[in-house]
Amino acid sequence: MRKEVKQAIGGLIMVSPSFVLLLVIVVIPIVQSFVTSLSNGEGGYDLSRYQFLFTDKGMRANIFFTLKVTVVSCALVLLVSYSLALYMRFSSGKLVDWIRKTYMIPLFIPGVIATYGLMNLLGNHGWLARLLLPLGIALPRLIFDEKGIVIANIWFNIPFATMLLSSALTGIPASIIESARDTGAGKLRIFLRFIFPLSYKTFLVALTFVFMGVIGSFTAPFLLGPNAPQMLGVSMQQVFGVFQEREQAAAMAFFTFLLCSVLGYFYIRSMAGEEVANR
């Protein structure tokens, strides 16, 4: 047997456990959900479940609400995370050291505990409202609507996104920045021409993970969100657990998967294009 064939067989054997795990945990459930979503409850198969997603007023509101919260959350998380990563990369001092030591703390707090803490902090009768009351300041409504979900998403996702972006910015050689400064380039030009292009790949990774985490979240939208409209994860639980409509819940799950696949497609396409360019 030739050496190339042996290497190919060895490679297949090494990746087979991951492939089997992916097949069992991801691929097969997705296919089963899609098949289930096509059932019309009368022994036949059609697209009536998906038609309901776009014709029912409540479902349309849930979809738009989910997309709105996801886009706003991703934008704010990446803005804050990139700013923190830039500040830690190009600044020094006690404040930078303090940020480096503390920004990862939210990762070690369970989601339910953090959500309960936000409720006690930002609720109408929370301790922040009680502190502001003697000053004659009325705390605006911050939870039990879309703002509460966005605040929770920022808390949950900033540490991970900042960690990814900090690693990418740390890998940028200081000589590149110094050379650009020597040629008279300003801060904005250095960022647009050097820093962001060199960290774009990691930025896209962070965006992908934050997007998928937010759009499929349940705990924070369930405890901090409004009764209507709802995030798709909460609405899916209501359809499946309360109304016992298994097929409709499967259609919602597969539709959510399609939304994530759109961003995943652009991510894979970008990575594939970069690999071709590097050859």
Question: What pLDDT score was predicted for residue 74?
Answer: 95
Question: What pLDDT score was predicted for residue 59?
Answer: 93
- Predicted confidence band of residue 275 (pLDDT cuts 50, 70, 90): low
| Residue 62 and residue 237 in contact, taking contact as beta carbons nearer than 8 Å | no
- Distance (Å) of CA 67 to CA 25, 70, 145, 161, 259: 26, 5, 15, 20, 9
Question: What pLDDT score was predicted for residue 1?
Answer: 56
Question: What pLDDT score was predicted for residue 277?
Answer: 56
Question: What pLDDT score was predicted for residue 210?
Answer: 93
Q: CATH number of the domain at 47-111+144-278, please?
A: 1.10.3720.10
- Predicted confidence band of residue 279 (pLDDT cuts 50, 70, 90): low
What are the phi and psi torsion angles at 124 (to 5°)?
-60, -30
State mean pLDDT over 5-34: 82
**Closest C-alpha among 91, 88, 219 to residue 155:** 219
Q: Which range has the top average pLDDT, 36-40, 60-64, 141-145, 185-189?
A: 60-64
More confident residue, 277 or 220: 220
Question: What pLDDT score was predicted for residue 13?
Answer: 81
Cβ-count burial 224-251 (b if 16+ within 10 Å, e if not): bbbeebbbbbbbbbebbeeeebebbbbb
Q: Which residue has the tokens 């090494």?
A: 14
Least confident of 1-15, 161-175, 209-223, 256-270: 1-15
More confident residue, 122 or 11: 122
Question: What pLDDT score was predicted for residue 144?
Answer: 87
State mean pLDDT over 204-218: 91
Amino acid at site 151:
I
State mean pLDDT over 152-176: 91
The domain locations on the chain are: 1-35, 47-111+144-278
- Predicted confidence band of residue 55 (pLDDT cuts 50, 70, 90): very high
Look up the pTM and report it.
Answer: 0.86
